[in-house]
Structure 1
Amino acid sequence: MAAAMELRCWGGDWGLPSVHTESLIVLAYTKFSGAEVTVSPIDWTWKTITATVPELLCGDSAVQEPAQILNFLRKQRFNADYELTARQGADTMAYIALLEEKLRPALLHTFWVDAENYANVTRPWFASRSPFPLNFLVPSCQANTALSRILLTKGEAPLHRITEVEGKIYSDAKECLNLLSYRLGTANYFFGNSPTSLDAFVFGFVAPLHKASLPSSPLQSHLRQLDNLIRFCDSILAVYFSSDRPCPLPPVQETMDANLQKLTQLVNKESNLIEKMDDNLRSSPQHKPHRPDPKPSLSTAKSSTPA
């Protein structure tokens, strides 16, 4: 009997089973291949900073990174690519490399470096799902990693600063989306009538950009002009995730806010009680402050002196 498999990943939101690209890739592939896995949003401990997700646990094995997890699932006879020809397999590898090189830097910038998106969407989401003090550390750690990765891969001379590479990475990303749209055409999936690993990767990269409510994103505006990619994402969500999307854990911040509200009410109640006690003490006769008699004036002193 095959060992049970558990997939640890970031939870879902925005109508997606996960907001995390890598987690979304693996979740989609498990659906395409028929693999039965138990999905567990990562626990909110100090591991949130150092752990690599997604992580697939099977018996004594722990596999990380989407490519390694997909290979592991294939060895367990969960293979969504078994009908692909050698040429289609080569095309799959080429398009995945294209996604990593052209689209990922722009996605990292969109969600983690763009100040408006980070402040209004990305940071609040990850902070609300991490307890204090991780709610301060996790988003900033992720943002620093994203910035470093962009500059490492795209900051070659003479473009050394993030403001200098923005134009380049977004131009490359739009070109990548155009190529994907052209390759998909009017088909439901990239190779035939069944989804494969390439569909899982494209879905993982494109779906968060499609579903997130971003206040600032020229890349999202460009994606919305490519109707077939939008239809592609919506179709996968409807067919494979409509009935059993994992329920995200309740945001930690909501519990913290509720506790803070109760504490504030208790403090206010005690403050009002103390204030009433002080008022009663002031109004009580035995607690009225003693005022000494005024000193006699000079004229009064003279008149009272015996002749």
Structure 2
Amino acid sequence: MITLHQYPGCWELPSLSPFCIKVETYLKMTGIPYKVVVENDPRRGPKGKMPVLKDGDKIIPDSGFILEYLKNKFGNTLDAHLTAEQQAMAIAVRRMIEENLYFVILYSRWIDPVGKKFINDAFKQFFPRLLSPLILAIIRRNLKKQAHGQGIGRHTREEIYSIGKQDIHAIATLLGSNHYFFGDKPTSIDATVYAFLSVIIYTPIDNPLREAVCNNQRLMEYVARMK
């Protein structure tokens, strides 16, 4: 059986990572049997992060490559009906979410003073009590470096949330009145969209990004439908 190694869950989230939620959502959508192994230490992954999929002697890191592997092995049943234009749009939307919106989420959790203390209190349960402050400080330092290198960390708080709200508006506009991203049937891009929106909604930190999602009725209905 396939084994999904992912970060632990908290609040109403099966995992603290949207990338892990994305893979598990895809597995549920396709009905592929799997089991979950919870990992607190990203160093257990070949690329120093989770999720990681294990299938026999095969080890596949990175959510994008995991979905590609699953589609090749079990068939691309969710996306078979999509046009070339829709497939291209799905790639563009996924890039926007995973390479831009993700860093706004990262900022809201680990760097924004509003989220910083909350995350410390919530995440310390996953580490040994005496080492927890040190581990969280190292995680925060590394994530701040990532955000600065990507570019989002160079902006002001107001500018960062403005960028995030633009992404949320784009997602809502593209979704429109559809039940799912490309109509009445869910496709693999819905696993990504749902994962990131659910992380924003169910992480109980009040900020402009969460407000933008929670105040959008269509997005809230979409998340409830996917859940």
TM-score, length basis structure 1: 0.68
> Residues of 1 paired with 2:138 and 2:217: CA distance?
35
The 8 Å contact of residues 21 and 208 in structure 1, kept in 2 or not, is answered as: yes
1:236 aligns with 2:220: no
Point out where structure 2 has 5 or more consecutive residues left out of the alignment.
none
Poorly superposed stretches of 4+, deviation over 6 Å: none
**Residue 83 of structure 2 corresponds to residue 93 of structure 1:** no
Q: Percent sequence identity over matched residues? A: 25
Pick from 189, 209, 216: which aligns with 1:219?
209
Please give the secondary structure, in 2, of the residue aligned with 1:76: helix
Question: Partners of 1:34 and 1:137 in 2: how far apart?
Answer: 40
CA contact under 8 A between 1:18 and 1:24: conserved in structure 2? Answer: yes
Aligned match of 2:53: 56
Q: Which residue of 2 aligns with 1:117?
A: 115
- Residue 161 of structure 2 aligns with which residue? 170
Structure 1 pair 117/57, CA: closer, same or farther in 2 (3 Å)?
A: same
TM alignment of 1:1-307, pairs within 5 A:
4-42=1-39, 47=44, 51-79=48-76, 80-120=78-118, 122-154=119-151, 162=154, 164-214=155-205, 216-237=206-227
| Contact 1:16–1:211 (8 Å) recurs in 2 | yes
| 1:74 shift after superposition | 0.7
**Contact map agreement 2:7 2:40 (CA 8 A) in 1:** no
Change (3 A) 1:112 1:86: same
Structure with max Cα Rg: 1
Task: Tell me how far apart the structure 2 counterparts of residues 154 and 45 of structure 1 sit (CA, whole Å).
Answer: 23
Q: Note the alpha carbon deviations across 1:262-298, whole angstroms, 9 max, x for none.
A: xxxxxxxxxxxxxxxxxxxxxxxxxxxxxxxxxxxxx
Distance change in 2, residues 1:167/1:74 (3 Å): same
In structure 2, distance between residues paired with 1:154 and 1:200: 26
Match of 2:101, as an amino acid? L
**Does the 8 Å contact 2:42/2:49 carry over to 1?**
no
Q: How many residues are aligned here?
A: 225
Q: Distance in 2 between matches of 1:107 and 1:226?
A: 18
Q: Is the 8 A contact 1:25 1:200 kept in 2?
A: yes
Q: CA deviation at 1:218?
A: 1.4
Cα deviations by residue, 1:37-95 (Å, 9 ceiling, x for unpaired): 111111669749x8421110111111111100001101111532222121111000011
TM-score by length of 2: 0.90
Q: Give the gaps of 5 or more residues in structure 1.
A: 156-160, 238-307
In the TM superposition, residue 16 of structure 1 has moved relative to its aligned partner by 2.1
